[in-house]
Amino acid sequence: MAMENVNDMLIVTEAPHARGKSTTSSIMLDVIVALIPTLIAGIIVFGFRSLALTAVCMVSAVAFEWAWCKILKKPSSIGDFSAALTGLLLALNLPVTMPYWMAICGSLFAIIVVKQFFGGIGHNFMNPALAARAFLLTSWAQAMTTWAVPFSKTSIFSSADAVTSATPLVQLAQSVDATSSATAVAESTANLPSYLDLFLGNIGGCIGEVSALAILIGAAYLLARRVISIRIPGTYILTVAVLTFVFGGKDGFFTGDALYHVLSGGLLIGAFFMATDYVTTPYTKKGQIIFGVGCGVLTSVIRLYGGYPEGVSYSILLMNVLSPLIERYTVPKKFGAVKTGKGGAN
């Protein structure tokens, strides 16, 4: 008995038949949108070369992803926007004076070596943009630590004549360094940017790390859209604040400038946009808290006692590698699990 308007072959699949609205590409787009204020802040502070560098990174990252899929005869994955996001994050982690060709090398490393060699989206064990940043820092240390003075208008075509400065964290490290001469300490201390400069972005540094305000606007958007939870960034930032307050002062314990540490360097962009990367961080709630605290401890140790003035990217990369182990030991207690006696479905 046939019925009108019923397909000859009805689709039979397992339940559930309904699907949520979130997709991989909608999530990636949300993160890209959340980074727009940060990019705009970078353009205001460092000029249009920031935009040009960002475009170079994004286009090259997408091109490498496309080419990889083409060569391996796999369906193109550029539509999920994850390669574009990697390019954007990489650019925001570079100094504005970075030569374009070096940035392209960074994209190549991020997409091909870190991501595709391990199986593409979902399979990389390190954050591609951060791993690429570490790769560039090792390869071209000079170029990666040349910081343009804010509002000095670096030329889009040549960065050779850029006016350079130190980042606030370098200055802070000098100001509390016991081995520096008294005059050097006094000079560094006097030159430290104000909290307001740190908050708005009137400082030297990578394109995406200078304006705390812009990063927080993006972070609020991601939290409101429930793309990220506060667990990792919250514990990360709190840990850094506590540890730098306790151990970071030059006049003994509990005299450190926690606010300065939180606002400067890559901590905010790292905590909200890198340490929240799904693929390379634990997905268990407890694991996320351990991950955030771990990042905070490592960052504080590197900043206060290490050779580098900045430790955010290495901290996150190290914790990325630990994620599978953290997940293994943070399996949540299931509903109905009994504390004593024998339980389990038998």
Partner 1 sequence: MRLKGKNIFGLATFKGGIHPDDMKAATCKKPIVDLPASREMVYPLQQSLGVPAVPCVQVGDRVLMGQKIAEAGGFVSAHIHSAVSGIVTAIEPRMTVSGIKMNSIIIENDGLDELCDIIKPKDWRDMSPKEIVEVVREAGVVGLGGATFPTHIKLSPPEGKKVEYVIINGAECEPYLTSDHRAMLETPEEIIEGLKIMLKVFGLKTGYIGIEVNKPDAIEKMAEYAEKEKDVEIRVVALKTKYPQGSEKHLIKAVTGREVPSGKLPVDVGTVVDNIDTCAAIARVFMYGTPLLKRIVTVSGDCVQNPSNFRVRIGTNVQDVIEKCGGFIKPAAKVIIGGPMMGVAISDVDIPIIKGSAGILGFSADAVAKKKVQNCLRCGRCAEGCPMNLLPNALKDAVLLEDMEKLNKLGVMDCIQCGSCTYVCPAEQTPLQYIRTGKAKLIKARQEAKK
Total residues contacting partner 1 (rule CB under 8 A)?
A: 48
- Within residues 94-153, the interface with partner 1 by CB under 8 A covers 119-123
**Is residue 224 near partner 1 by the rule CB under 8 A?**
no
Residue from 138, 181, 183, 346 touching partner 1 (CB under 8 A): that is 346
- Output the smallest distance, CB 267 to partner 1, in A: 23
Number of neighbours of residue 54 by Cβ within 10 angstroms: 24
Part of the chain binding partner 1 (CB under 8 A), chosen from 149-157, 198-206, 300-308, 332-340: 332-340
CB-based contacts of 122, cutoff 8 Å, min separation 6: 279
Q: How far apart are CA 206 and CA 297, in angstroms?
A: 22
Number of neighbours of residue 141 by Cβ within 10 angstroms: 10
Q: How far apart are CA 236 and CA 279, in angstroms?
A: 18
- Output the smallest distance, CB 334 to partner 1, in A: 5
Nearer to partner 1, 43 or 223 (CB): 223
**Is residue 26 near partner 1 by the rule CB under 8 A?**
yes
Residue from 3, 160, 182, 190 touching partner 1 (CB under 8 A): that is 3
Q: How far apart are CA 239 and CA 233, in angstroms?
A: 10
CB-based contacts of 15, cutoff 8 Å, min separation 6: none
Number of neighbours of residue 9 by Cβ within 10 angstroms: 6
- Output the smallest distance, CB 335 to partner 1, in A: 4
**Is residue 182 near partner 1 by the rule CB under 8 A?**
no
Number of neighbours of residue 329 by Cβ within 10 angstroms: 11
- Angle of helix 24-46 versus helix 212-224 axis, rounded to 10: 170
C-alpha count within 13 angstroms, C-beta hemisphere, residue 50: 27
> Before 16, cis peptide (omega within 30)?
yes
Part of the chain binding partner 1 (CB under 8 A), chosen from 3-11, 57-65, 209-217, 264-272: 3-11
Nearer to partner 1, 24 or 145 (CB): 24
Nearer to partner 1, 153 or 285 (CB): 285
Q: What is the DSSP string of 180-216?
A: S-HHHHHHHHHHPPPHHHHHHT-S-S-TTTS-HHHHH
**Is residue 284 near partner 1 by the rule CB under 8 A?**
yes
Q: What is the DSSP letter of 207?
A: T
Part of the chain binding partner 1 (CB under 8 A), chosen from 104-112, 142-150, 240-248, 326-334: 326-334
Each residue 55-84 as x (binds partner 1 by CB under 8 A) or -, in order, gives: --------------------x-x--x----
CB-based contacts of 70, cutoff 8 Å, min separation 6: 76
**Is residue 161 near partner 1 by the rule CB under 8 A?**
no
- Length, in residues, of the chain: 346
**Is residue 232 near partner 1 by the rule CB under 8 A?**
no
**Is residue 307 near partner 1 by the rule CB under 8 A?**
no
**Residues binding partner 1 (CB under 8 A):** 1, 3-7, 10-20, 22-24, 26-27, 75, 77, 80, 119-123, 278-279, 283-285, 327, 331-338, 343-346
